[in-house]
Amino acid sequence: MKIEIAGVGTTKSAEKWELGLLDIAIKAAGKALKDAGSVTPDAVIVANALGGALGDQQNLALHVAGGLGYSHAETYSVCCDEASGGAAVRLASALIRSGMHDTVLVVGAEKTSDALPDMLETVRSAGLDAAREASFGFSPTIAGALGMQHYLSTYHLDKEAFYHIARIAHQHGSTNRNAIFPWALDRKQYLKSPIVATPLSVCDNAPPCDGAAAAILKKGSVQTSNVCILGSANTSDRKGIVFPITSLQLPAATQSATMALKEAGSQLSDMSLMELHDANTFLAALSIEAVGLAQPGKALERAQTDDFLLTGTMPLWTFGGHKSRGLAPGASGMYQLVEAVLELRGDAGENQITNANKALVQCLGSFGAQAVTHVLG
């Protein structure tokens, strides 16, 4: 069964002092509902990674449905770290495929600016292994630093090699009015950026921000002109930061992409663009290799070419990725999906690529131990 994406909406990635978690979720949902025309969803699914831990609204989906004025909707809140958005879309698809519902609203929302930076990083760390990693001070950022260091020494590269990941994201984000950091990043800025944990610097990390993105999923009709979900997969692998750092592999990302492509009846080369998970430059490089866009150790070499630019053979992070658009953790997967839909609809404005037919969208949770992939077309 085809699943259509009948409407999409996002809020600007920013520090929105005047709006709360529930407000931005409803704002994005309102835009998606308006985009879809007159629909009333049977179910509301909300992706959010940190709200409960930050002491914000829990059971968010119920409150979003209430805020939208729905009194009989089935609601679910999905909390799968930075894979929450993708997981919520997959759950919505399952409800539609099962015949339980025809129309489902999916919203990803995160409010990070109410927390101090060290508190935010602590709460983000709770998605890792609590007993052996988070309680010893390990965070996604420190894990990214260790991964970068091991990647550089294993493949005999200089830190500068990671610049190209950030460069591409910022180049694309520079024309995205919804991006939190909409400017190009030059080599000098990258190399001078303050170190968070060697060798990872501020410019290797996606900036946390407030943000919400939403989509209306519908049981597909045969003649639909809407973008459809052609395939999807949600896979997990051994937990913990140690495996990706020491092996320089993301098996869940590889398996998830392979399964989603197979279901879609597509090859990697059929994709017109990809939105991969760039919470830091290390995970971005491993994702490129995991989905098969580069051999192990060769992602950064390929990133030096024009291949991943909007005008290249396989555009990545078409609206700036998490790096330039901003990382709203639980909403990040929804931003990726909405951006890919805009590309496929031809509604991407200055960020539009030519001949956009199919897209692969992948989000990662818990430092790559979970991967959710959607193939759209």
Specify the stretch interacting with other proteins by CB under 8 A; choose among 66-74, 77-85, 124-132, 297-305. 124-132
Residue identified by tokens 């049981």 is 219
**Binds other proteins by CB under 8 A, chosen from 24, 161, 200, 356:** 200
Hey, is 359 helix, strand or coil? strand
Kindly state whether residue 142 participates in binding other proteins, applying the rule CB under 8 A: yes
Specify the stretch interacting with other proteins by CB under 8 A; choose among 148-156, 183-191, 207-215, 250-258. 148-156
**Binds other proteins by CB under 8 A, chosen from 122, 189, 236, 255:** 122
Residue 364 CB, nearest approach to other proteins (Å): 18
Kindly state whether residue 55 participates in binding other proteins, applying the rule CB under 8 A: no
Count the alpha carbons within 13 Å of 43 in the hemisphere toward its beta carbon: 24
**Binds other proteins by CB under 8 A, chosen from 113, 149, 258, 352:** 149
Kindly state whether residue 292 participates in binding other proteins, applying the rule CB under 8 A: no
Which residue, 246 or 267, is less far from other proteins as judged by CB? 246
Residue 199: is the preceding peptide bond cis (ω within 30°)?
yes
Which residue, 35 or 129, is less far from other proteins as judged by CB? 129
**Binds other proteins by CB under 8 A, chosen from 119, 157, 268, 294:** 119
Which residue, 152 or 360, is less far from other proteins as judged by CB? 152
Kindly state whether residue 135 participates in binding other proteins, applying the rule CB under 8 A: yes
Contact predicate 84/108, CB 8 Å: yes
Contact predicate 100/91, CB 8 Å: no
Residue 127 CB, nearest approach to other proteins (Å): 13
- Of 13, 253, 9, 246, the C-alpha closest to 150 is 246
Which residues, at least 6 apart from 353, have a Cβ–Cβ distance to it below 8 Å? 272, 273, 310, 311, 315, 318, 343
Specify the stretch interacting with other proteins by CB under 8 A; choose among 20-28, 102-110, 129-137, 319-327. 129-137
**Binds other proteins by CB under 8 A, chosen from 100, 184, 191, 195:** 195
Query: What is the β-pairing status of strands 227-236 and 370-376?
Result: antiparallel
Residue 121 CB, nearest approach to other proteins (Å): 5
Kindly state whether residue 237 participates in binding other proteins, applying the rule CB under 8 A: no
Kindly state whether residue 139 participates in binding other proteins, applying the rule CB under 8 A: yes
d(CA 253, CA 222): 31
Contact predicate 80/365, CB 8 Å: yes
State the amino acid at position 250 in one-letter form.
L
Catalogue the E-assigned strands of the chain. 3-10, 43-47, 74-78, 103-110, 195-197, 200-201, 211-219, 227-236, 273-275, 359-365, 370-376
**Binds other proteins by CB under 8 A, chosen from 137, 265, 346, 349:** 137
**Binds other proteins by CB under 8 A, chosen from 133, 278, 339, 343:** 133
Burial class (CB in 10 A: 0-12, 13-18, 19+), 321: buried
**Binds other proteins by CB under 8 A, chosen from 18, 69, 118, 311:** 118
Contact predicate 128/367, CB 8 Å: yes
Which residue, 133 or 210, is less far from other proteins as judged by CB? 133
**Binds other proteins by CB under 8 A, chosen from 157, 197, 268, 294:** 197
First to last CA, the chain: 14
Contact predicate 156/149, CB 8 Å: no
Residue 101 CB, nearest approach to other proteins (Å): 36
Query: Which residues between 316 and 345 bind other proteins (CB under 8 A)?
Result: none
Contact predicate 329/112, CB 8 Å: yes
d(CA 257, CA 343): 20
**Binds other proteins by CB under 8 A, chosen from 58, 198, 224, 295:** 198
Which residue, 151 or 190, is less far from other proteins as judged by CB? 151
Task: Give me the residues that bind other proteins (CB under 8 A), please.
Answer: 117-119, 121-122, 125, 131-139, 141-142, 145-146, 149-150, 153, 194-200, 240-242, 245-246
